Amino acid sequence: MTAFTTAIQHGAEHADEAAHGEQGVDVVHHLADSHVLELEPIGTFHLPQWELFGLDVSITKYTVYMWLAAALMLLIFLPMARRRGSVHTGVYNLFEALFVYVRDEIVYANIGREDGRPYVPFIATLFFFILFMNLLGLVPFGATATGNLAVTGVLALFSFGAIQASGIAANGPVKYARSLMPEGIPLVLAPVMIPIELIGHIAKPFALMVRLFANMTAGHVVILSLLGLIFIIHSYLVAPIAVAFSIFIYLLEILIAFIQAYIFATLTAVFIQLTRHPH
Amino acid sequence: MDLLQPEPGLIFWTAVTFALVLGILWKFAWNPILGALEAREEAIRKTIDDAERLQSEAKTLLEQHEAKLAEARAEGNRILDEARQAGDRLKTDVMDNARVEAEQVMARAHRQLELETDQALETIRNEAATLAVKAAEKVIQRSLTDDDHRRFAEQAVAEIARRGG
């Protein structure tokens, strides 16, 4: 959990009830993206603000932690791929077990052993990227990049792309497009059916986006709210209870970090299989 | 920065980062790892298959050996039994032959003995008759005829035969 912020510093920005010179916990500030890295007591780092073709592409808190997740992935899996010999040790065993789990239980279980193999790299990347970002939110000073709609939205968009591409690759563009209008349904119903099918295609990644964002945000909100109770009630007596509960939620969040990565990857695999065999 | 407001910068960087990580890991990590895993799984499967095959072969061999061993043991027992039976048979044969031969020898000896006894008695009988005749002849030579002699001699012989008989 990043340090409790002094609400007065951000009072003008958020205008919440804590902004009256008191110590407090600013939940929204904690969860929102920002241009500074607050690594108290080491210091506060202002991140560079860039612009590209008129687009604000500044490096933000979440960008940094997303890159950290990406760097961790490269640092773990690139050396793992270069290892020779069949006996792995230490951390490689852990990640190999996870990778085999993703391969067997997520991809092969849903798409099939032969058909699923080409999808293993994409879904493995998705799983580990989300898992690492989720877990980075649980280390001190860390931030959960997956607790941001922009991040989950882009990931869902990649999922959407993969799902549609797999549907087209498996059926051919014509047959796949025809699956929007299932056979045996009167043509009269086309104006109803086609929008419904299209909405179905869009709703799937939309649900992926919102689910991941909401789950990763919710845990943090609960923890911060529990800790915030101490400041709101103004009593040290409530602290043991609040801390105990927030530790419980924290442990739950470790579980949720894995579960949400699993759900995102599994649903992507399931949707891929669904579009490969429409109706 | 609002909680629900997606920032274009973050969208951009997420897309770039994910695409890069996906591309790099796809080429340099996932496919090599997948290949290595499959090779290892194949090797493990092969090793297990080999082990199972060898085990079943060993089992068959063991069974064969045990069967052979049992066969050899039965054969040995059979030979031993046969030898024992042959020995027994030989023993009884030899004993029987010996007994028969002994009986024959004994019978022969008995017959010989009887024959010789009879001959001896005959000789003695003749000798005694002659002697008696000569003695009687000397005693009553003048008073008796040859017929008398003969009658007396025969009476004497019968007497001797009765006593000696």
Average pLDDT over residues A44-61: 74
- Three-class SS state of A40: coil
Nearest C-alpha of chain A: how many angstroms from B60?
32
Determine the angle formed by the axes of helices B8-25 and A120-136, rounding to 10 degrees.
130
> Considering the domain boundaries, does residue B46 fall inside one?
yes
Say how many domains are in chain A.
1
Say whether pLDDT at A231 is over 60.
Answer: yes
> Considering the domain boundaries, does residue B67 fall inside one?
yes
**Placement of tokens 């799983």 in the chain:** A127
> Considering the domain boundaries, does residue B3 fall inside one?
no
- Using a 10 angstrom Cβ sphere, with 0-12 exposed, 13-18 middle and 19 or more buried, the burial of residue A133 is buried
What is the per-residue pLDDT for A85? Answer: 62
Q: Are B43 and A95 in contact (CB under 8 A)?
A: no
Gyration radius of chain B's alpha carbons: 63
Q: What pLDDT band is residue A13 in, cutting at 50, 70 and 90?
A: very low
Question: Inter-chain contact A217–B3, Cβ cutoff 8 Å?
Answer: yes
Average pLDDT over residues A169-187: 80
What is the per-residue pLDDT for A87? Answer: 65
Q: Which two tokens stand for residue B124?
A: 């003695």
Q: Helices then strands (H, E): number in chain B?
A: 3, 0
Say whether pLDDT at A22 is over 60.
Answer: no
Through-space distance between the first and last CA atoms of chain B, rounded to whole angstroms: 166
Q: How high is the ipTM of this complex?
A: 0.80
Residue ranges of chain B whose pLDDT lies below 50: none
> Considering the domain boundaries, does residue A140 fall inside one?
yes
> Considering the domain boundaries, does residue B15 fall inside one?
no
What is the per-residue pLDDT for B99? Answer: 94
Please count the other Cβ atoms lying within 10 Å of the Cβ belonging to residue A229.
17
8-state DSSP, A49 = -
Determine contact: B30 vs chain A, CB below 8 A: yes
Question: Inter-chain contact A99–B8, Cβ cutoff 8 Å?
Answer: no
Residue type present at position A85: G
Rounded distance between C-alpha atoms, residue A102 and residue A240, angstroms: 39
Say whether pLDDT at A3 is over 70.
Answer: no
pLDDT in tens, A179-214: 777 777 777 877 888 888 889 889 999 999 999 999
Could you give phi then psi for residue A36, rounded to 5 degrees? Answer: -125, 150
- Using a 10 angstrom Cβ sphere, with 0-12 exposed, 13-18 middle and 19 or more buried, the burial of residue A60 is buried
Question: Inter-chain contact B32–A81, Cβ cutoff 8 Å?
Answer: yes
What is the per-residue pLDDT for B147? Answer: 81
Looking at per-residue pLDDT, the higher value among A40 and A175 belongs to: A175
Say how many domains are in chain B.
1
Q: Which two tokens stand for residue A161?
A: 């792309």
> Considering the domain boundaries, does residue B7 fall inside one?
no
Please count the other Cβ atoms lying within 10 Å of the Cβ belonging to residue B68.
10
> Considering the domain boundaries, does residue B140 fall inside one?
yes
pLDDT in tens, A71-129: 999 998 888 887 766 566 777 888 888 999 999 899 898 888 888 888 999 999 999 99
Determine contact: B85 vs chain A, CB below 8 A: no
Give alpha helix (H) positions in chain A: 7-14, 27-31, 61-82, 91-101, 109-111, 113-116, 120-136, 149-171, 173-178, 190-233, 238-276
Determine contact: B43 vs chain A, CB below 8 A: yes
Kindly list the residues from chain A whose CB atom is less than 8 angstroms away from the CB atom of residue B14: 66, 145, 150-151, 154-155
Q: Are A30 and A224 in contact (CB under 8 A)?
A: yes
Kindly list the residues from chain B whose CB atom is less than 8 angstroms away from the CB atom of residue A96: 33, 37
What is the per-residue pLDDT for B1? Answer: 52
Question: Inter-chain contact A60–B37, Cβ cutoff 8 Å?
Answer: no
> Considering the domain boundaries, does residue A67 fall inside one?
yes
Residue type present at position B85: Q
Among B18, B33, B34, the strongest candidate for a mutation testing the A interface, having the largest count of A CBs within 10 A, is: B33
The maximal CA–CA distance of chain A, rounded, in angstroms, is 69
Nearest C-alpha of chain B: how many angstroms from A21?
22
* Residue range of the domain that includes B154: 20-164
Half-sphere exposure of A96 (CA within 13 A, CB side): 21
pTM over 0.90: no
Question: Ramachandran region of residue A54, left (φ > 0), alpha (ψ -120 to 50) or beta?
Answer: left
pLDDT in tens, B88-118: 999 999 999 999 999 999 999 999 999 999 9
* Residue range of the domain that includes A140: 61-216+258-276
Average pLDDT over residues A221-241: 83
Kindly list the residues from chain A whose CB atom is less than 8 angstroms away from the CB atom of residue B1: 32-34, 60
> Considering the domain boundaries, does residue B10 fall inside one?
no
